[in-house]
Amino acid sequence: MPHLPSEDRNHVINTRYNDDLPVSHDDWAQYWNVLSSACDVYIDREKVRHGLWKSYNAAAQMTQVKIKSERVLHALDHSPEHSLIMMAELEDIINYSVFAYRKIDGTV
């Protein structure tokens, strides 16, 4: 379930898009929808884990990216029909990448 109502998502998409961008409005909207979906996963997990990820360094976060990337590659090779599983792994990859980024830039 999205944590940001669709009208708010659309507002974010439309206020951040301009005609000078080298991508179409549709591509921009789809990009933001994927990021928003990953953010929804982050929020749901934080309800249970309460920032546990903050106790791990950037290398540990990137190890999780590697593991999840290998799972997606395996699924693509052997079970391409499991797109929902792959999409969930990709949302995790986005979040672990953000965690690593924040560890590296010192905002944690």
Give the CA dihedral 65, 67, 73, 75, nearest 10 degrees.
Answer: -120
pTM score of the predicted model: 0.84
Over residues 4-21, the pLDDT tens digits come to 556 666 777 767 777 777
pLDDT at 25: 82
Cα dist from 35 to 30, 55, 59, 77, whole Å? 9, 23, 22, 25
* Domain residue limits, the chain: 1-50, 53-108
Report the alpha-carbon distance of residue 29 to residue 42 in Å, rounded.
20
Over residues 39-72, the pLDDT tens digits come to 999 999 999 999 999 999 999 999 999 999 999 9
pLDDT at 16: 72
Tokens for 31, please give them: 């990009």
Report the alpha-carbon distance of residue 14 to residue 101 in Å, rounded.
26
pLDDT at 87: 95
Q: Report angle CA 83, 85, 87 to the nearest 5 degrees.
A: 65
Tokens for 61, please give them: 């976060």
Alpha-helix runs per DSSP H in 17-107: 25-49, 58-78, 83-105
